[in-house]
Structure 1
Amino acid sequence: MSGDRRGKTAGALAAVVALVAACAGPPAGQAREAAGAPAGVGTAGSVGTGTVGDAGGSADGSMVRTDAGAVRGTVTHGHRIFQGIPYAAPPVGELRWSSPRPPAPWAGVRDATRPGAMCPQVGSDYAKISSSKEDCLFLNVTVPRTPGGGKPVMVWIHGDGALGSGDLADARRLATRGDVAVVTINYRLGVFGGFGYPGLAGSGTYGLQDQQAALRWVRRNAAAFGGDPGNVTVFGVSWGALSITGHLTSPGARGLFDRAVLQSGEGMMDMLAGSMGEDVPAQPSYGLRTVRETEETGKYAASRLGCGDLRCLRALPVERILKVPQIMNMFQAYAHGGETLPRPPAGELRAGRFHRVPVISGATRDEHRLFTALLHEAAGRPVTAAAYRGLLRTAFGREAAAVAAEYPPDKHGSPALAWSAVVTDRMWARATFEQNRLLGAGVPVYAYQFADRKAPMFLPLRTDFPFGAFHAADLPYLFTEEKAAFTPAQRALSDQMIDYWTAFARTGDPNGAGRPRWERFDPAASVPHTQALVPGAVGPVDYAADHNLGFWPEPS
């Protein structure tokens, strides 16, 4: 596949996930607190001393000593926030496309009241976020102002491999309600995180390596913020969850986390032809390619940039790289066959070779409706009856007639919703169920389906389209989202979800008093338990029946 085709393949999904990420932030509350300098915000000065109980430096907990130096954050009545903390050296110059190095120590107290720079990225028509700052390997820590240390630590890996930032997730409510420390991270994206070139060590895995470097930072420094470095949960959505699947099978991630939460990011997913755009081909292993394929794409990109060697490429200004069409999306894939990711995660899961940590894993009920709305309805290419038949032919070839008979438009309300159901069931749900089955054979798995079909639409898209429980619709239920207007029942569901997620982070079991029992996913059961997350109706759902999985062949 040519570099341009690779760019289109990744770019379609990138546009959607970036839209979600951009509209989920920036966290307005945090920005206001930093600008207004509320009680507890200090200025740089001498480094104090202290114990874990006072967070390592000041009576109010605003100053903390990390292994590289002291930082001063923001303190309010309910929480402490530290932003823009470097967890690795700036990946610039000779360190562009190199494994992350430790940050240089600093003297005095570093200001941690504002976010650090986002990693280089290009905005889109829907996601008006961009950055050309290569010095971007920062993280943020949000901790409740409750006494004592030893709080469970939850590390958030944002979605999309070409756009986004840890700063876009407002973790205040998650941290305070759940009494957990939440860390959100930046990592290198697109061509900066996934580039490969002949002779280049670590080709195609720099973003994944950044995430592991951040997890190592957490192990070293969590206690200073009141967290428990021996109790770390990594969680993420979409590309972030796909990354975690990689960490579950990566030798370099062994021992870096104790639990994992996978939200709408299936390492088993194969992309149907036409599902992410009418001219986008099938991709048997979404988000993955071999080191050799990555290096060949790198050679193509180098030619587009007018460079014939790595020295030239590393000397290019960031802005020059970002101006090349599709170059960010050409590298939205992790490379397997190297030290970081020796083999494809899907094969490792099938072989039972993955790190033994408890897992929460799930998806939304109507994953693909958001993609249908953006790629077809909002783009002026509505899914008519004729277009639906064409999409089925592109995706299934000779099997299109059988799929059309199984998913008639009148059964689903429209051709657009029928197409959404086809792709949700075949591409998303089938992969989710298979991933849960494979993981559940070796570790405790708690499967879920977010199914609030009236979830608030917080994205700038036409609201008359029936989005249902769309891709990433569950994010406002975990993170503070001021654009999401909840009903009382939805607010109660949000409380339950935070309680489930943080109880799991604390003990490896999401259950507790005051919420419906969540049974483990048993691969041997005739109907493995999946917890439906619905306002006022949380409980079991037959996930396979709900997504017509009996019609679709099992993944090979």
Structure 2
Amino acid sequence: MSPLKSRVTALAAAVVGAALTTTALAPAADASERPLPTRVVTAEGPVQGAVTGAVRTFQGIPYAAPPTGERRWKKPAAVRPWSATLDARAPRSACAQPTDQPISIAGGGSEDCLYLNVTTPAGRSARPRPVIVWIHGGSFAYGDGASYGAAKLAAARQGAVVVTVDYRLGVFGFLTAPGLRAPANLGLLDQQAALRWVARNAAAFGGDPGNVTLMGQSGGGYSVCAQLVSPGARGLFHKAIVQSAGCVGPDGSFTRAQAEDQGEAVVAAALGDGTEDVDSRLRALPTADLVEASASGHDGYRPVVDGEVVPEAPAEAIAAGRFARVPVLHGSTRDEMSGLAGMDELMTGRPLTAEGYAEKVTNQFGADAPAVLAEYPVERYPAPGAALSAVLTDSEWSTAALDTQRALARHTSVYAYEFAEASAPYFRGVPRPASFSLGTGHMTDLAYLFENELFEPLDGAQEELSDTAIGYWSRFASTGRMNGPGLPAWRRFTDDGRYVQRLASGDIGRTDFAAGHHYAFWKRLASS
């Protein structure tokens, strides 16, 4: 991600709360039928889950061998089968990660982390259910799958088997460094191993292995972009949902040279200036030492264009039509950068001034600043912070979103959306700026789709929007289309029609996304 995108993600990290959000469940489609068993026999061995309300959950199921000891920095290997029933009633460890930001998982995780979690409706179905595989975000360095409760998504009208995945992060999943004899993109290879697990085992949980939707947000969304162009993922998923990630944009990948520059700094921090025996010395270091030496924050790791896992930059491949042409649901939030725009006010206790706004725009856009300030005059906005939010959102996120939708739509079916709540649930226990509304910022759309302890609870109107959004998402996972009983009409996005659905409480329908985000202006500026 660009530094600006990274900083808004960092802000989200800095405001994470710690209490569990409770979300009402929609009734399972087959709740009146005999419940499904909580003991399931997978291809690798039996697992014991639990029933909670309308769903069954199975947590901490290994999908690949632990990448520890001699297997550090090696491709994921098959897990050893078991015969005794595996207790799958609690999640296992998250993947090792820095603990420098509140978005980090408590305790920092472990290298033994290749586990997944399955949530299904508790009732039986006459037909196999669609499968949704969730790839969490966190800039390829933070986060886990278990934090995203999927009860409401699984128990929606369509019903779904939802799989949330942990994959190697940061120094263990995306390090490319001179002297380290290791494949690139191990985190992406882990995701593919999880998809192969789904192909083997979806049916055991009532899912259809021939109807798999790969879904991710932010870093997880960029992962989906990479998997769309990765030969190793072909045939493993049949639809894609990409949230807050511009596949056709500047942030989706590193060249090998860029990755090695980042990796060289990690090696120097871990080993000093010596360049001999880098591979063996790195492999001998304890987990904690490698994490301490790793590039933390939000700019250190990306999928790497290695010619194999990622044969070319996703932005180039998708623009040229060289990707898996599956139906795609793609979108963003209206106010992706509002958190960053409000940061000064939260830190200083004083709202951004008009002069401060002009200074920030000048620092960011240089010689183009006068044009930007003319396009976004401060007097048109409720406060200078709101003007800055609009500038940063439109330049960093919205333009890439529309470029991505246009590129995809030339080759496959695309539905486009914008979460546009006037005031979405924010991070628990964190004050908001007083001078302007944060609207729907980066990551806060997830409060409508998952049960997640990060966010404030939904109010009544927001619960209704959540029900509608989950209805759309599950409909897409089931059929590849958005329209269904009880759902407001949603047309496909085409390069000429450019239909984008606005998702807001009491206000669902078409929005002029290009005009609302000054798309023509930013394209002219880029070409000048």
Q: Is TM-score (shorter-chain normalized) higher than 0.5?
A: yes
The one-letter code of the counterpart of 2:141 is: A
User: 1:169 offset after TM fit, Å?
Assistant: 0.2
Matches within 5 A, 1:42-441: 60-127=36-103, 129-130=105-106, 131-148=108-125, 150-160=128-138, 161-178=140-157, 179-198=159-178, 200=180, 203-269=183-249, 285-306=250-271, 308=275, 309-324=278-293, 326-327=295-296, 329=298, 331-374=300-343, 376-380=344-348, 383-441=352-410
- Using the TM superposition, give the Cα deviation of residue 417 of structure 1 relative to its aligned residue in structure 2, in angstroms: 1.4
Q: Which one of the candidate residues 441, 460, 473 is aligned to 2:444?
A: 473
User: What residue is the counterpart of 2:10 in the other structure?
Assistant: 15
d(CA) in 2 for partners of 1:473, 1:191: 27
Distance 1:239 1:493 in 2: 25
**In 1, Cα distance between the equivalents of 2:379 and 2:56?**
53
Q: Secondary structure at the residue paired with 1:256?
A: coil
Go from structure 1 to structure 2 and tell me whether the alpha carbon gap of 1:484 and 1:301 turns closer, same or farther (over 3 Å shift).
closer
Q: Quick one: distance in 2 between partners of 1:325 and 1:352?
A: 35
Q: How far 1:487 moved relative to its partner?
A: 3.2
Sort the Cα spacing of 1:456 and 1:296 in 2 relative to 1 into closer, same or farther, 3 A: closer
Higher RCO (CA-CA < 8 Å; seq separation 6+): 2
CA distance in 1 between counterparts of 2:122 and 2:263 reads 47
- Once the two structures are TM-superposed, the CA of residue 428 in structure 1 deviates from its matched residue by 0.7
CA distance 1:24–1:177, change in 2 (3 Å): farther
CA distance in 2, matches of 1:227, 1:176: 13
Question: How far, CA to CA, are the matches of 1:365 and 1:403 in structure 2?
Answer: 19
Structure 2 unaligned blocks of 5 or more: 24-29
Change (3 A) 1:116 1:25: farther
Q: CA deviation at 1:24?
A: 8.3
Q: Please report the TM-score for the alignment, with normalisation by the length of structure 1.
A: 0.85
Contact 1:11 1:326 in 2 (8 A): no
Q: For 1:40-79, what per-residue CA distance to the aligned partner results, in whole angstroms no more than 9, with x for missing partners?
A: xxxxxxxxxxxxx9xxxx9851111112111111123411
Percent of aligned positions that are identical: 42
**What corresponds to 1:272 in structure 2?**
none
Shift of 1:140: 0.1
Per-residue CA deviations over 1:300-329 (Å, capped at 9, x if unaligned) read 311211164111101111111222374465
SS of 1:80 mapped into structure 2: strand
Shift of 1:209: 1.2
Equivalent position amino acid for 1:547 in 2: H
Deviation at 1:206, TM superposition (A): 1.2
- 1:530 aligns with 500
Task: Give yes or no for contact 1:190–1:328 (8 Å, CA) kept in 2.
Answer: no
Q: What amino acid does structure 2 have at the position aligned with 1:318?
A: T
Whole-angstrom distance in 2 between the partners of 1:332 and 1:297 = 8
Q: Is 1:486 aligned to 2:458, yes or no?
A: yes
Residues 151 and 181, structure 1, Cα contact 8 Å, conserved in 2? yes
- 1:66-100 residue CA offsets vs partner (Å, 9 max, x unmatched): 12111111123411100000111111122212211
Structure 1 residues 145 and 155: CA distance shift in structure 2, 3 A: same
Structure 1: segments with no counterpart, 5+ residues: 1-5, 30-52, 270-284
Alpha-carbon distance in structure 1 between the residues aligned to 2:430 and 2:381: 21
Q: Distance in 2 between matches of 1:232 and 1:195?
A: 29
* Structure 1 contact 24–168 (Cα < 8 Å) conserved: no
Matched pairs, number:
506
Contact 1:27 1:168 in 2 (8 A): no
> Is 2:510 the counterpart of 1:540?
yes
**Offset of 1:477 from its aligned partner?**
1.1
User: Whole-Å Cα distance in 2 between the matches of residues 400 and 195 of structure 1?
Assistant: 36
Measure how far apart 1:13 and its partner are: 5.0
**Superposition RMSD in Å:** 2.6
Distance 2:19 2:410 in 1: 37
Compared CA separation, residues 533 and 104, structure 1 to 2 (3 A):
same
Q: Deviations over 1:408-466 (max 9, x none)?
A: 22211222211110011111110000000000111110000111112122344213442
| Contact 1:194 1:203 (8 Å CA) reproduced | no
**Secondary structure of 1:513's partner?**
coil
Q: Measure how far apart 1:331 and its partner are.
A: 3.3
| Structure 1 pair 402–547 and aligned structure 2 pair: CA distance change class (3 A) | same
387 and 93 in structure 1: CA distance in 2 versus 1, 3 angstrom threshold? farther
- Corresponding residue number in structure 1 for 2:27: none
Q: Secondary structure at the match of 1:139?
A: strand
CA distance in 2, matches of 1:310, 1:505: 43
User: Do the aligned residues in 1 keep the contact of 2:8 with 2:339 (CA within 8 Å)?
Assistant: no
With over 3 angstroms needed to count, the CA separation of the structure-2 counterparts of 1:259 and 1:69, relative to structure 1, is same
